[in-house]
Structure 1
Amino acid sequence: MRAASLLEGMTLVLLVGIAVPLKHLADFPVAVRIMGPVHGLAFTLYVWMLVQTLASGRWTRAEAVRMLAVAFIPFGAFANERLLARRQRALASSV
């Protein structure tokens, strides 16, 4: 889940921070045509991993909403990754 979050977050930042400005400021729409589908695939993977994670039943509704919401915020995935790492450590120590 952590890797999927980081991948989705990086592709979102690249899309919004580089590809879209290149399209509008430098008249270079190819950047969006390339990064758009890459981000779409990463987002789909992230949502699929989120559904799989939530199916385990050990996550609250608030955690699920937070993990979905950060997928729409540039750089949100990086904060999410820290929270997921903390959760992973807590689960590992309780086993």
Structure 2
Amino acid sequence: MMSLFRWIGRFEGLSFLLLLGIAMPLKYIWGQPEAVRIVGMAHGGLFLAYVAMANYVALALGWSKRVWFLSMVASVLPLGTFIFEKKYLSETGSLPKK
């Protein structure tokens, strides 16, 4: 369960960076909106999967409200999911209840 959550977070974070760093410049600088359509749709699906999985994992593992809130904030910040994983998700799959 935690491994799946980590991977969804990694893909969600990567898709967000691709959207901001490649697709948006292609649209607004070079007038090619197709990349935003494709990457944006993928990112939207991964974002929803991340939020749903974060809620599921938070309930299953008894995360504190603070940690749950930080997981939600991480989903809307560039590099947020990577930082959240590094700081709060231990290698053993458990989470400190801070």
Q: TM-score with structure 2 length normalisation? A: 0.84
Report what 1:12 is aligned to: 16
Q: Does residue 72 of structure 2 align to residue 80 of structure 1? A: no
Q: Does residue 48 of structure 2 align to residue 44 of structure 1? A: yes
Cα distance, 1:82 vs. partner? 1.1
List per-residue Cα deviations over 1:32-88 (Å, max 9, x = no partner): 0111110000001101101111221520000001000011111111111213432x4
Aligned-residue identity in percent: 31
Q: Does residue 12 of structure 2 align to residue 25 of structure 1? A: no
Q: Please list every run of 5 or more consecutive structure 1 residues that lacks an aligned counterpart in the other structure.
A: none
Q: Please list every run of 5 or more consecutive structure 2 residues that lacks an aligned counterpart in the other structure.
A: none
CA distance in 2, matches of 1:84, 1:49: 15
CA RMSD of aligned residues (A): 1.8
Higher relative contact order (CA 8 A, sep 6+): 1
Change (3 A) 1:90 1:32: closer
Cα distance, 1:90 vs. partner? 6.7
